[in-house]
Structures are given as structure tokens and as C-alpha cells.
Amino acid sequence: MIKLQDVRKTYQLGDNRVEALKGISLSIESGDFVSVQGSSGSGKSTLLNILGILDSYDSGSYTLNGTAIRDLTQKQAAHYRNRFIGFVFQSFNLINHKSAVENVALPLYYQGVPRRERNQLAMDYLDRVGLAGRAEHKPAELSGGQAQRVAVARALITKPALLLADEPTGALDSETSAQIMQLFRDVNDEGVTVLIVTHEEDIAAQTRRTVQLRDGDIARDERLE
């Protein structure tokens, strides 16, 4: 499903060049459950953003589902993000002035799904993450764990083939972390490819494969079990 070949990414900050990725080659099979680990600044988020077509890369190649992801127009990128990829962020990234159900339904708005239909679906997904009772709450009225579950519901509502999560449990306590990980396992069981960035060993241990980054290189890549 994912094939990265010698992907490089350099950030230029004034005279400072930061080589965030120094030639990453990585294959991920459809239906896998992968964690990416590494110390701060090792390039985890950069990798995830490139995989999610939120960011570009300088050289190498990236193939997603057989499609070469290179020089896409903004419109094409938006289309892939909308149809194939679901995102979950450490800081939830919900829209503050929208209720939980509106946040969850938003990706379908950009697909042109009628309001009634998408709100119905959004309620189903909220129910699935156990938050049907909080549908009308604004993000500020939700706990961290609840907000992240809303974000997961939003990532899943378009039935993406790939779910990307950047430190999804980074802001949560261990109990709510466990709930979120359970959700990811369920999603993965349904066949969705899941890739999460984490620095917590016990989170990584719950996945099937872990990739260790160090200074923009893959230091270790092992299958667990």
C-alpha cells in the first residue's frame, strides 16, 4: 500500500539546513499496524506528513495505493486526503466553533454529502467511539480523551484506507490512551492500514511492526509478535 524509496526532505531556515529525512525507504502492506518511534527531532512527524500528503519531499519516490505521489496539484492532494487518508493529531485539531457532530461530519461536507445524511453518519461514528451523548458539545467542553475520540471519529468517517496518527496519546492519561489504542486495533481489524507515531514503548508494543527513526534515518525496523 505504501512504498517509499530513498525519500529525502530538507528544511531550509535562513542559512541553516536541517536534513529531516535522509533517504527513507519503507514498504507498508495493506492492513498492517505500524508504529514509528524515535527521539524528538528524529523526523517522525515529517515522515507522517509526507505520507499524508500534507507536506512535500525533495527527492525519492512515494507510491500510495499504486499512485505516484509527486507534484500533485493542491486540488488532487485535497482529494487524496479526503478519500484515502484519515488524520489524528496529538493536539486533536478540532474546529472550536463547531460541535462534536459537526466536526465529525466536516470531511463529508467536502465530499458534497447532504447535511442530513452526513450528520446521521457522524452520529453513528460518534456512537462508535462512545460519545453519542456529547454530539452537541463544543471541543472546549470535552475532556482530552473525548476530544481525541471525536478526532478519531472524524478521521474514520470517510472510510479511509490509511489512518495516520501523530502522537495520538501524547496528551492523554494511560486509561484514555488505552481506549484510543483499542479503537485503533478495532479499525485495523476491519482492514484499515494504521500508522502511529509515538515515543511511548508500551504504545509501540501494541502494534505489529515498529520502525525506529534516528536523525532522519531508519535505525531499526522490526516485526513484533
Ligand X SMILES: Nc1ncnc2c1ncn2[C@@H]1O[C@H](COP(=O)(O)OP(=O)(O)OP(=O)(O)O)[C@@H](O)[C@H]1O
Catalog residues that contact another protein under the rule CB under 8 A.
Answer: 45, 49, 52, 54-55, 74-75, 78-79, 81-83, 87, 89-91, 93-98, 106-107, 109-112, 115, 154, 158, 166-167, 170
CA-nearest of 35, 47, 3, 27 to 216 is 47
What's the rounded Cα separation, in Å, for the pair 63 and 69? 6
**Cβ 28 to Mg ion shortest distance, Å:** 19
Binding to ligand X by residue 114, rule CB under 6 A?
no
Does residue 18 bind ligand X (CB under 6 A)? yes
Is residue 88 within a helix (H) or strand (E), and if so which, with residue range?
strand 85-88
198 is an interface residue for ligand X by CB under 6 A: no
Q: Is 109 in the site for ligand X (CB under 6 A)?
A: no
Q: Which does 52 bind (CB under 5 to 8 A by kind): ligand X, another protein, Mg ion, none?
A: another protein
- What is the rounded CA–CA span in Å between residue 118 and residue 104? 9
DSSP line for 206-224:
TSSEEEEEETTEEEEEEE-
CB of 207 to ligand X, least distance (A): 17
- Judged by phi (left if over 0) then psi (alpha if -120 to 50, else beta), residue 71 lies in left
Beta strands 162-166; 193-197: pairing state: parallel
CB count within 10 Å of CB 102 equals 20
Q: How far is the CB of 161 from another protein (least distance, A)?
A: 14
Q: Which does 106 bind (CB under 5 to 8 A by kind): Mg ion, ligand X, another protein, none?
A: another protein
Contacting range for Mg ion; rule: CB under 5 A; set: 37-45, 132-140, 199-207, 214-222: 37-45
Residue 75 binds which entry of another protein, Mg ion, ligand X, none, CB below 5-8 Å type-dependent? another protein
Size of the residue set binding ligand X (CB under 6 A): 12
Q: Tell me the residue type at 191.
A: G
